[in-house]
Chains A and B, each alone.
Chain A
Amino acid sequence: MAPRLQISQLCKSFPGVRALDDVSMSVEPGEIRALLGENGAGKSTLGKIVAGVYSRTSGEVRLDDAVLGDLDEKAAGELGIGIVHQEGSLVPQLSVAENIFAGRQPTKWLGQVDIRLMRERAHALITQLGVAIDPAMKVAFLSPAQAQIVEIAKALSRELRLLILDEPTAALTLTETEKLFEIVRRLGRDGVSIIYVSHRLAEIFALCDSVTVLKDGRLAGTRKVAETTTDELIRLMVGREVHLTRAASARQAGPVVFEADGVSAPPLVRSASITVRAGEVVCLAGLIGSGRSEFCEAIFGARRRTAGDIRIGGAPVDPQGPWDAKHAGIGMVPEDRKTSGLFLGMDLVNNIAATVLSKVSSGANFSNTKAERLAGGFVKELRIATPSVRKIVGELSGGNQQKVLLAKWLAMEPRLLIVDEPTRGVDVGARSEIYRLLRGLAEKGVALLVVSSELPEVLALADRIVVMAEGRTVGELPGEGATEEQVLRLATRFTSSVANVREEAVGA
């Protein structure tokens, strides 16, 4: 029997970049194949070519032994190739049902959309996924996880032969991820082939049959999941050994630099307290939606605080906005570096100088020389790989962008630096580099508050772990010797229902 999908010598060039170079692979019917690689390895590009989003430069793609010509997304959909995009393809102003059947709404006479039939079918599709979402609801009101489920329902609304999932779990919680896996496994049993694009190794071991690794647009290898190990996959991805193990920490924590007591910022932060000492790395752990990022924003003045005291070096501060926090010596590296962190269209010099305009000026004059010297210093110190300090930041790799973002905040010499998801979208190599930088900062006496969703990261970095759940700080663990299980147990101890009951008890 012919394989479901057969790719031979596929190449794809973008102006100035060879995104895919001579890649061949084949997927059997019903097989769940992971596509793994660092950022920029070409895995999303491969998925998009198969789904007709991009055209290929050369090479051949066969579906059930039939050669695919140059097709667009619509033609690919009609052949039974579905894709769930990383970025999302839903129109927020339209209803769930309308999004699912975009352009293919069932019609009555004169081409009127048969709204009832459409909603019924949408309802059936969503129920099949084991969740309840009202098909008449506007997509704008959905949570990211619900939107992801609608995306999948949209792909499932056709007869599928091949489904491509591009980083589908980025916005999902653990339970939602588990639900998604069940759906994917069932599709596989029904004979649909799945290409599962991801860089989360744990998911691949939990879900997939086999894994194809790409590195720099080339095929690095294909393995059966049952016959491989994490170490081997990482070696294939990065072409070298990488250790994410914990550095021996013999640091002496200094005096308390930062205290937050009973901070509330409804609705997501209810009562959170934390202290951080000089030279200490405190990690804030918790499930998605537990209010970690929001707590940090409240400390930084980027979110309105309704209660709680904040002290820096013992002196009370009351930040009304990020500028106040900055003057008090607090820096914050936000979670989403593209939308809230960097000025992507500007060069390194301007990005790094953004927090310290007064430092790079003589009187009222902005000094380009001073700013360039400042940026040059950080390029060297943080080993940012860039041809020039005048390079546009949007053109750097994810890891180097993250370093620029760090540099921007290091430039103001913070006493407390909050880092929200320090390695999101950063590849494995740059990751250990960023850990090294953060540890180095702590050794210099900066108080660090790190938010992370990735438990291995928390365990590798933290001197102390503070766990949040339901907008409250619920427990604390020493970083040395803590296990993932301990953290998770704290984070899930108060589920929604328990917390509500507690609240009612307090109210009564």
Chain B
Amino acid sequence: MSVAQISQNEAQAPVEQREALPLRIVRRLANSRELTLFVLVVLLALAMTIVYPHNFPTGPNMRAVLLNLAPVGILVCGMMLLMIAGTFDLSVGSTLALSGVWGGVVAGWWGWPAEAALLVGVLVGAVAGLINGLIVTRIGINALIATLGTLTIYRSLTYVTAGTGVTPISDSFAEYGRTADPILRIQSPFWAMLVLVLVGGWLVARTRFFRQFYFVGGNPRAAQLSGIRVDRLILIGFIIMGALAGIAGVLGAARLNSAVVNAGVGIELKVITATVLGGASLKGGEGTVLGGILGVLFIALIENAMIINAVGVFWQGLVVGLVLLFAVSLDRFKTAGRG
């Protein structure tokens, strides 16, 4: 047999039949974490509507749920981006508090206009992210250690800046966190989150620039050798994460008209839980912002169910932890079946 014939045989691998479009869509969705989560969220919401018709589907409860998930939802966009690139940031809770406090100081103590205070808060967050990114990419300290360090540093800076916090800040500043839309009457942090999730989701899923993060997480060395600037992208990822923490921080401070020094304690674990639940892997290369936000929604609903049911706060962590372990073990089976 000649060489040419061999290669022909090799090329005669089965070619996938193109199925009808609706069937293809169903097949694709069945394999996705997003769809699984979406179905779970809908089922959970339905079940809760049936079981607690007087407590769950009410305006005040819905508004509370959506407003409370806003900061986690904002942070999840950045965390998803970082985890896609194979890294993460533990310092987001401290960054959030530091930004909020700086917003409060600028508006409340210095009496600057509210817009300047918002801008300063977000910039503080971005700089905190930049520092994280520089430590990780330039000094080469592993992200776990680096951001564990800055977690305590930023929190400490928060105390140093404002002692016990800034209360009240200023009425014009508070406007930005309290304004509600006329129809659903949900306050601005939720709408900010919605815009960020939609824009972030589109950017990460569709644009060439953010596409590169998947390559970085998939195989950093191969990405480097493919001419992708790995370190620069990771640095940008950390800056975006910091800026998002800044946005969450100033909006939170504005809503309460009070910059609390203990804001966001422990939020990083909640955010990472939602991100992993939403389909990110610690190894990187996978995940979507849509999945992340569905993860946030799912956790919020479970917490809400427990609040309505008057299950003690102490039990909430147990349930959320079990859900996370369950979701991740599902993936283990999927991979095992494939290999």
Smallest CB–CB gap between B9 and chain A, Å? 9
Beyond A15-B339, A326-B227, A432-B6, is A354–B215 a contact (Cβ under 8 Å)? Answer: yes
A345 within 8 A of B: yes
Q: Is the CB of A341 within 8 A of B225?
A: yes
Which residue in chain B gives the minimum CB-CB distance to A323? Answer: B227
Residue from A342, A387, A429 within 8 A of B6 (CB atoms): A429
Question: B26 to chain A: closest CB distance in Å?
Answer: 16
Is B214 an interface residue when CB atoms closer than 8 A count as contact?
yes
**B221 contacts the other chain (CB 8 A):** yes
List the 6 shortest-distance A-B pairs measured between CB atoms, nearest first.
Answer: A326-B227, A343-B218, A383-B11, A385-B13, A361-B208, A388-B16
What residues of chain B lie closer than 8 Å to A354, measured between beta carbons?
A: 215, 222-223, 226, 228
Task: Report Cα–Cα, A325/B339, bound state, in Å.
Answer: 36
Give the chain A neighbours of B225 by CB distance below 8 A: 300, 302, 322, 332, 334, 340-341
B198-214 toward A: CB 8 Å interface, digit per residue (1/0)? 00000000111101101
* Cα–Cα distance between A354 and B10 once the two chains are bound (Å): 26
A15 contacts across to B, CB distance below 8 A? 336-337, 339
Contact across chains for B229 and A323 when beta carbons are under 8 A apart: yes
A237 to B3: give the CA distance in the assembly, Å: 15
Count the A-B residue pairs with Cβ separation under 8 angstroms: how many? 111
Indicate whether B182 reaches chain A with its CB closer than 8 angstroms: no
User: With an 8 A cutoff between CB atoms, is B309 at the interface?
Assistant: no
Cβ–Cβ contact B207 & A342, under 8 A: no
Hey, which chain B residues are within 8 Å of A387, CB to CB? Answer: 13-16
Selected contact of A343 from candidates B6, B7, B10, B215, CB within 8 Å: B215
The yes or no answer to A108 lying at the interface (CB within 8 A) is no
Report the separation of the CA atoms of residues A392 and B223 in the bound assembly, to the nearest whole angstrom.
Answer: 17
- List 29 A-B residue pairs with CB atoms under 8 Å apart, sorted by A's residue number: A15-B336, A15-B339, A240-B1, A241-B1, A243-B3, A321-B224, A322-B224, A322-B225, A322-B226, A325-B227, A334-B225, A340-B225, A343-B222, A343-B285, A344-B218, A350-B215, A354-B223, A354-B228, A355-B226, A361-B208, A366-B206, A383-B10, A383-B11, A385-B12, A387-B13, A387-B15, A408-B226, A429-B10, A433-B7
Complex interface: chain B residues within 8 A of A355 (CB): 226-227
Q: Report the separation of the CA atoms of residues A240 and B14 in the bound assembly, to the nearest whole angstrom.
A: 22
Q: A residues touching B (Cβ–Cβ < 8 Å)? A: 15, 240-243, 300, 302, 321-323, 325-327, 332, 334, 339-346, 350, 354-355, 357-358, 360-361, 364-366, 383, 385-388, 392, 395, 408, 429-430, 432-433, 436
Chain A's closest residue to B215 (CB) is A354
Hey, which chain A residues are within 8 Å of B152, CB to CB? none
Given A15-B337, A357-B212, A385-B11, residue A340 in contact with residue B227 (CB < 8 A): no
| Complex: A300 Cα to B207 Cα, angstroms | 27
* Cross-chain contact A433 with B10 (CB below 8 angstroms): yes
Q: Identify whether the interface residues of B are mostly helix, strand, loop, or mixed.
A: helix
Binary A-proximity of B276-290 (CB < 8 A = 1, otherwise 0): 000000000110000
Task: Report A-chain residues with C-beta under 8 Å of the C-beta of B227.
Answer: 321-323, 325-327, 355
Question: B11, B12, B211, B285: which contacts A345 (Cβ < 8 A)?
Answer: B285
Residues of chain B within 8 A (CB-CB) of A325 are: 227
Chain A neighbourhood of B209, CB < 8 A: 364
- Find chain B residues with CB under 8 A from A429 CB: 6, 10
Chain B contact residues (Cβ within 8 angstroms of A): what range?
A: 35 or more
Give the residues in chain B near A436, CB-CB below 8 Å.
3, 7
A342 and B13 contacting across the interface, CB-CB below 8 Å:
no
Q: Is B338 an interface residue (CB 8 A)?
A: yes
Residues of A within 8 A of B214 (CB): 346, 350
Nearest Cβ on chain A to B193's Cβ, whole angstroms:
23
Give the Cβ gap from A137 to chain B, nearest Cβ, in Å: 25
- Is B219 an interface residue when CB atoms closer than 8 A count as contact? yes
**A346 adjacent to B208 (CB under 8 Å):** no
Please measure, in the bound complex, the distance between the C-alpha atom of A383 and the C-alpha atom of B9, giving whole angstroms.
10
Task: Please indicate the chain A residues that have their CB under 8 angstroms from the CB of B222 in the complex.
Answer: 334, 339-343, 354
Q: Given contacts A343-B218, A385-B13, A433-B6, is CB(A365)–CB(B226) below 8 Å?
A: no
* B residues less than 8 Å from A345 (CB atoms): 218, 285-286
- Cβ–Cβ < 8 Å partners of A430 in chain B: 10
Q: In the complex, what residue of chain A is closest to B286 when comparing beta carbons?
A: A345
- Tell me how far the C-beta of B319 lies from the nearest C-beta in chain A, rounded to whole angstroms: 31
Tell me the complex Cα distance, A342–B225, Å.
Answer: 10
Is the Cβ of A240 less than 8 Å from the Cβ of B6? yes
Contact of B229 with A321 in the complex, beta carbons under 8 Å = yes
Question: Could you mark each residue 9-42 of chain B with 1 if its beta carbon is under 8 Å from any beta carbon of chain A, else 0?
Answer: 0111111100000000000000000000000000
Q: What B residues does A240 contact at CB under 8 A?
A: 1, 6
A344 & B224 in contact (Cβ 8 Å cutoff)? no
A357 to B209, CA, bound (A): 8
A314→B218 CA distance, assembly (Å): 36
Measured CB to CB, the nearest residue on chain B to A405 is: B222
Report the separation of the CA atoms of residues A323 and B229 in the bound assembly, to the nearest whole angstrom.
7
Chain A's nearest CB lies how many Å from the CB of B217? 9
Most chain B beta carbons < 10 A, residue from A240, A345, A395: A345
Q: Which residues of A contact B229 (CB under 8 A)?
A: 321, 323
Q: Which residues from A are CB-within-8-Å of B15?
A: 387-388
